[in-house]
Chains A and B, each alone.
Chain A
Amino acid sequence: MTLLQLHDVHAYYGNIHALKGITIDVDQGEIVTLIGSNGAGKTTTLRTISGLMHPRSGAILLNGARIDATQPHDVTRLGIVQSPEGRRVFSRMTVLENLEMGAFVHGKADPNDLNRVFDLFPRLKERESQKAGTLSGGEQQMLAMGRALMGKPQILLLDEPSMGLSPILVEGIFSIIQEINAQGTTVLLVEQNALMALTVANRGYVLQTGEIVLSDTAENLRKDESVRKAYLGE
């Protein structure tokens, strides 16, 4: 069943035509990845889905209902939760407060969700009352993902969760993404690290200067000549 659909979405920054007719489907239970080089429009795609910006034309549907004119806080309420590029944790709040903010739409933080996040990221438990701004980059990434999970997403949007992390942490983050998915959350994953992304994802889309140039199963993309050249550094 298709959970999230983007149909011929065009988006602009002023006069800059950033998305030129993006069509993406994400099915219930999948991990779908969106890869592409710098400036391709990956972040813009996620911002548009989340309602931080609105498409000039085209449609975005969640479970068949239009959400392209919906305000960002309502998009979150509907179950599309994003962990944004650059983590964007609330640096002057504690780790726990950040997680509570993640559960904002549900009123109070659900203790089960909290335990789940602490199970996935034991480090966060140790740093519970530390200010988020004093966490290391990797810990902030864990917090950003944990915070998004507190919103009980139907679909989790992750914007470059591996950015700036050491190879070991990258491995860890990707296995956690798989774990989150196995627990029932659909994931739309934006990555520069195409190899890792295509390893964990079911399907992938390749974005180039605002257009989808390829879409296939992750396995096929991994084998694709042009993808190997452009994104897997071969």
Chain B
Amino acid sequence: MLLVLLAIGLIYGAYDRPELFAQYIIIGVANGALIALIALGYTLVYGIVELINFAHGEVFMMGAYFALTVVATTGVTTEKGWLILAAAAILALLGSMVFSSAINWGIDRVAYRRLRHAPRLAPLICAIGFSFILQQMAVYWKGGNPLSPPALIPSEYRAYNILQEWFGLETRIRIRPLDLAVVLITIPLLILLQWFIQRTRTGKAMRATAQDRDAAALMGIDVNRAISIAFIVGGALAGAAGMIAVYYINSARPGMGFRYGLYAFTAAVVGGIGNLNGAVIGGFIIGIAWSLSDGFLKTYPGGHFSWWGAQWTPALIFGLLVVTMVFRPSGILGETTAEKV
């Protein structure tokens, strides 16, 4: 009911203040890309071992810290040429992808794999345990306070509007280089993932394992290896998201994995857990809902929502989760015949 009201308010708002609306959509898309990357990790792992990897948000957080560390270690500053800056960014991206995938792989190898035949609750509790362990490791490593990453984007480009500067549009809608970068990193990763899962031998082995583990083993597929790869790929995507997040929100803190993790988990469920395309769609839905709720909703319609603010965002997002669970428990794309992992 509330959601319907919100939707009406939004449509009215979009009609009334299109530029502002578009602006929040842009922010939402960038946020959504980030959430989608994390959500894919939940869905990949769930698809293959039916485990909600509650430590996944923290794997993402560790990626954020590692990205920040890599950039700090290279010592680049924004006075350097853009090539060097780009190289540092790519290094940090790859570094955090490797780092997070190693953590995710390690957790599975050390713990979950031993619990493969245990009751479902055992690995789940174990995952929650790892989530705390990783948070505390981050506190020990970098302290509990938020850290800002070393700048990679020269200050004059931070507020630079691509629409105006490149296309000469007279508009108040702003797309910053940062917004563009988020999408430019995410899209190739999504395409690469799709190709990997759908076309490669290893990807097909993972899909087979997800569908029927014993039958896959009978085909000569090393099931444990296929599962490890799911953790590695999921971890790599979380690491990439970590790198993006640390620059997009310009800070990292040990608790950051909690909120992003929960939102991404919600995105995976809303999209249909186990379904890769679903995770991406869910990610964008949650990202946009988040952005609109944080900034746009309170402005419309006619001030009736003036009490709305960022404090209501979790309620809205988990409201989406509840609505999904009630009306479409298998998620948007989660039909029985849908293409899972």
Q: Which residues of A have CB within 8 Å of B253? A: none
**B-chain residues with CB within 8 Å of residue A51 when the two chains form the complex:** 217
Closest CB of chain A to B213's CB: distance in Å? 10
Residues of B within 8 A of A131 (CB): 337
Say if the beta carbon of B201 comes within 8 Å of chain A. yes
Q: Return chain B residues, CB-CB under 8 Å to A213.
A: none
Per-residue interface assignment for chain B, residues 146 to 188, with 1 indicating a CB less than 8 Å from any chain A CB and 0 otherwise? 0000000000000000000000000000000000000000000
For the complex, is A147 an interface residue (Cβ under 8 Å from B)? Answer: yes
Q: Which A residues are in CB contact (< 8 Å) with B207?
A: 90, 92-93
CB pair B218 A84 closer than 8 Å: yes
Q: Report if B8 contacts A (CB, 8 A).
A: no
A77 part of interface (Cβ distance < 8 Å): yes
Query: Is A97 positioned at the interface, with any CB of B under 8 Å from its CB?
Result: yes
User: A77 near B220 (CB under 8 angstroms)?
Assistant: yes
Q: Per-position contact with B for A84-122: 1 when CB-CB < 8 Å, else 0?
A: 100011111100010011101101000000000000000
Q: Compute how far the CA of A234 lies from the CA of B207 in the bound complex, rounded to whole angstroms.
A: 46
Q: How large is the interface on A (under 10, 10 to 19, 20 to 34, 35 or more residues)?
A: 20 to 34
Residue of B nearest to A76 (CB): B220
Task: Chain B residues near A72: list those with CB within 8 A.
Answer: 214, 217-218, 223
Write the chain A residue with the least CB distance to B340. Answer: A92
Distance in angstroms between the alpha carbons of A128 and B339 in the assembled complex = 17
Residue of A nearest to B222 (CB): A73
By a CB distance below 8 angstroms, the chain B residues around A91 are 211
Alpha-carbon gap, A224 to B338, bound state (A): 51
A21 an interface residue at 8 Å Cβ cutoff? no
- Are the C-beta atoms of A97 and B337 separated by less than 8 Å? no
Closest chain A CB from B340 CB (angstroms): 6
Residues of B contacting A82 in the complex (Cβ-Cβ under 8 angstroms): 218
Are B208 and A105 within 8 A (Cβ)? no
The answer to whether A81 and B211 touch across the interface, beta carbons within 8 angstroms, is no
Contact of A52 among B217, B219, B222 (CB under 8 A): B217
B138: Cβ under 8 A from any A Cβ: no
Within the complex, the shortest CB–CB distance from B201 to chain A, in Å, comes to 7
Closest chain B CB from A130 CB (angstroms): 12
A71 interfacial by beta-carbon distance below 8 Å: yes
Q: Does A50 contact B (CB under 8 A)?
A: yes
Asked if A133 is at the interface of the complex by the 8 Å CB criterion, the answer is yes
Contact B214 A151 (CB under 8 A): no
Q: Which of B212, B219, B338, B339 contacts A104 (CB 8 A)?
A: B219
Are A73's CB and B208's CB within 8 A? no
A150's closest neighbor in chain B, by CB?
Answer: B219
Instruction: Produce 1/0 per residue, B219-244, CB < 8 A to A.
Output: 11111000000000000000000000
| CB-CB nearest in chain B for A134 | B337
Q: Chain A's nearest CB lies how many Å from the CB of B334?
A: 12
Q: A133 contacts which chain B residues (CB < 8 A)? A: 337
Q: How far is the CB of B33 from chain A (nearest CB, A)?
A: 26
Distance, CA A84 to CA B277, complexed state (A): 31
Q: A97-B204, A101-B208, A104-B205 given as contacts; is B215 within 8 A of A88 (CB)?
A: yes
Q: Within B303-335, which residues are at the interface with A (CB < 8 Å)? A: none
Report the minimal beta-carbon distance from A119 to chain B, rounded to whole angstroms: 21
Instruction: With both chains docked as a complex, state the minimum distance between the C-beta of A154 and any C-beta of chain B, in angstroms.
Output: 13
**Contact (Cβ within 8 A) A151 B340:** no
Q: Tell whether A84 pairs with B215 under 8 Å between CB atoms, given A90-B208, A92-B340, A104-B201.
A: yes
**Cβ of B216: which chain A residues have Cβ within 8 Å of it?**
90, 101
8 contacts between A and B (CB under 8 A): A50-B217, A51-B217, A72-B223, A76-B219, A77-B220, A84-B218, A88-B214, A104-B220
Where the two chains meet, the residues of A that have a C-beta atom closer than 8 Å to any C-beta of B are 50-52, 71-73, 76-77, 81-82, 84, 88-93, 97, 100-102, 104-105, 107, 131, 133-134, 147-148, 151
Q: A76-B218, A88-B212, A90-B216 are in contact. List 16 more A-B contacts (CB 8 A).
A: A52-B218, A72-B218, A73-B221, A76-B220, A77-B220, A88-B214, A90-B208, A91-B211, A92-B211, A92-B339, A93-B204, A97-B204, A101-B204, A101-B219, A105-B219, A133-B337
